[in-house]
């Protein structure tokens, strides 16, 4: 089988050599060229015919965003993987690139101080993403097509019940839990704004991303959506009509310390499925806290994080929906759940909000008044890193911003695409 051809665009000669060495050690990959800036990269693409381009976000002459726009115009089907530093500026530009159509992203090694560790980090981060993006485009030579043409959809009927046996009767959803990875920022930017401001339950989200990225993503989604979207705050009570995203490098859980009292917990327990945050950790907690009141949504993503959690959601009597292959960047996570016959339905991304809203409002009562929210990144919003007491989390800030306020905003202006792969269990997190 032909090797996957990769073009590297980065203004750092050291980084170009590191990436080339890391990728060349994989027998499935071939580095066909490199470029020190976007202008040269654009000139080399028609000459070298790469399958995937890795694109630094900050370069002279043509930066990452300018190069992305030029390549989308000349080669609209070419997968482009953004390569970013873990800084505020790098994260901001990378998120903008994802919203403008970049296929995925990876972060540069930081603070390793060791060549071998840097190479290993690059192999773990870049190689699986490049292979997944190439597989997606290789299996779809004509662009997005009917799912019947996809091997991963073989035998699965879209938007139809998938249970070989009738499932347990689900309860009225108390929480919507979303798991997403590769392609997630764009998927969430389509899904969350389509949910109404009167959405009657809270939404909790695990998006495989590192620190800084998750906060910026929450800010961006909050501006786009009628629902306020924030990074999760340890110990915070869950309220209807609010959405919370797991902070990068922290697991997110839902706890039920007392009947009718649902709260957030963030912590640095061991990675699961090589990810922190992990979808399995979130879904498992929802199954335990909500029983039949859990509604799990698995969106586009590489790997199978969330599969074990969906088994627990189903065993507790909850419901599971997955995004279809046609609208997924990578049909790994949702595909694994669908193939395990755990999903009630496989739904195109554009129809998911309507399906979710229908399920949570079926038999739902009136929505309670919403308190406001602390501003993202506001130091006054910090709470204790110790485990909160069940009755009241210590030091929680007063709520000031309502979903109604956010619904009137206008836009003013993301396996990592995978989770954090290292770290030791640490204290609970406060945003």
Q: 104 an active-site residue? A: no
pLDDT for residue 251 is more than 60:
yes
**What is residue 362's predicted lDDT score, i.e. its pLDDT?**
78
Tell me yes or no: is domain 4-138 CATH 1.10.3720.10.
no
With contact defined as beta carbons under 8 Å apart, do 93 and 108 qualify?
no
CA 287 – CA 321 distance, rounded (Å) = 15
Q: Where are the domains of the chain?
A: 4-138, 159-364+372-407
Percentage of residues of the chain with pLDDT beyond 90: 69
Fold exhibited by the domain 159-364+372-407: Rossmann fold (3.40.50)
Cut 0.85: pTM above it: no
Which residue in 67, 338, 298 sits closest to 182, CA to CA? 298
Residue 398 is predicted with a pLDDT of 33
**Which of 364 and 201 is assigned the larger pLDDT?**
201
Which entry of 51, 134, 208, 219 is annotated as an active-site residue? 208
Same fold yes or no, 4-138 and 159-364+372-407: yes
Instruction: Provide the pLDDT for residue 112.
Output: 58
User: What are the two backbone dihedrals, phi and then psi, of residue 176, each rounded to the nearest 5 degrees?
Assistant: -105, 120
Catalytic pick among 34, 118, 181, 431: 181
Q: Report pLDDT digits (tens) over 302-353.
A: 999 999 999 999 999 999 999 999 999 999 999 999 999 999 999 999 999 9
Looking at residue 170, its pLDDT comes to: 61
Q: Which of 10, 305, 324, 428 is catalytic?
A: 305
**Position 391 pLDDT exceeds 60:** no
Give every CB contact of residue 38 below 8 A, 6+ residues apart in sequence. Answer: 9, 55, 59, 61, 62, 63, 64, 66, 67, 70
208 is catalytic: yes
Residue 305 is among the residues annotated as catalytic for this protein: yes
What is the structure's pLDDT at 39? 97
Over the stretch 211-244, which tens digit does the pLDDT of each residue have? 999 999 999 999 999 999 999 999 999 999 999 9
> 197 by DSSP, 3-state: which?
coil
């Amino acid at each position: 089988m032909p090797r996957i051809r990769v073009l590297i665009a980065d203004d750092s000669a050291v980084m170009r050599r590191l990436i080339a060495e890391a990728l060349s050690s994989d027998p499935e990959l071939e580095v066909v060229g490199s470029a020190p800036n976007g202008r040269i990269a654009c000139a080399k693409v028609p000459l070298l015919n790469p399958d995937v381009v890795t694109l630094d976000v900050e370069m002279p002459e043509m930066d990452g965003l300018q190069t992305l726009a030029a390549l989308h115009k000349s080669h609209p089907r070419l997968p482009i993987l953004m390569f970013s530093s873990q800084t505020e500026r790098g994260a901001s530009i990378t998120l903008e690139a994802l919203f403008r159509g970049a296929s995925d992203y990876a972060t540069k090694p930081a603070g390793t101080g060791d060549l071998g560790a840097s190479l290993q980090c690059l192999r773990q981060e870049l190689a699986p993403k490049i292979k997944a993006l190439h597989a997606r485009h290789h299996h779809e030579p004509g662009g997005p097509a009917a799912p019947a043409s996809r091997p991963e959809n073989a035998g699965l009927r879209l938007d139809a019940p998938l249970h070989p046996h009738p499932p347990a009767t689900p309860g009225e959803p108390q929480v919507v839990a979303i798991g997403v990875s590769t392609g997630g920022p764009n998927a969430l930017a389509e899904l969350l704004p389509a949910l109404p401001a009167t959405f009657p339950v809270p939404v909790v989200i695990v998006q495989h991303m590192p620190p800084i990225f998750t906060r910026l993503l929450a800010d961006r989604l909050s501006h786009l959506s009628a629902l306020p979207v924030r990074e999760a705050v340890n110990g915070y009570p869950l309220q209807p009509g609010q959405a919370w995203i797991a902070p990068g490098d922290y697991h997110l859980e839902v706890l039920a310390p007392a009947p009718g009292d649902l709260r957030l917990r963030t912590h640095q327990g061991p990675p699961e499925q090589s990810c922190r945050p992990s979808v399995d950790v979130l879904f498992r907690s929802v199954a335990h806290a909500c029983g039949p009141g859990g509604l799990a949504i698995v969106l586009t993503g590489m790997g199978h994080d969330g599969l074990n959690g969906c088994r627990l959601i189903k065993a507790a009597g909850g419901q599971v929906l997955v995004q279809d292959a046609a609208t997924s960047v990578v049909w790994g996570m949702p595909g694994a759940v669908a193939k395990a016959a755990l999903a009630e339905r496989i739904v195109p991304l554009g129809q998911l909000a309507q399906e979710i809203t229908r399920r949570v409002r079926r038999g739902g009562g009136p929505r309670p008044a919403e308190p406001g929210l602390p501003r993202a990144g506001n130091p006054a919003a910090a709470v204790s890193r110790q485990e909160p007491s069940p009755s009241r989390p210590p030091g929680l800030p007063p709520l000031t911003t309502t979903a109604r306020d956010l619904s009137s905003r206008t836009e003013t202006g993301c396996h990592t695409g995978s989770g954090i792969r290292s770290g030791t269990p640490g204290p609970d997190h406060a945003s």
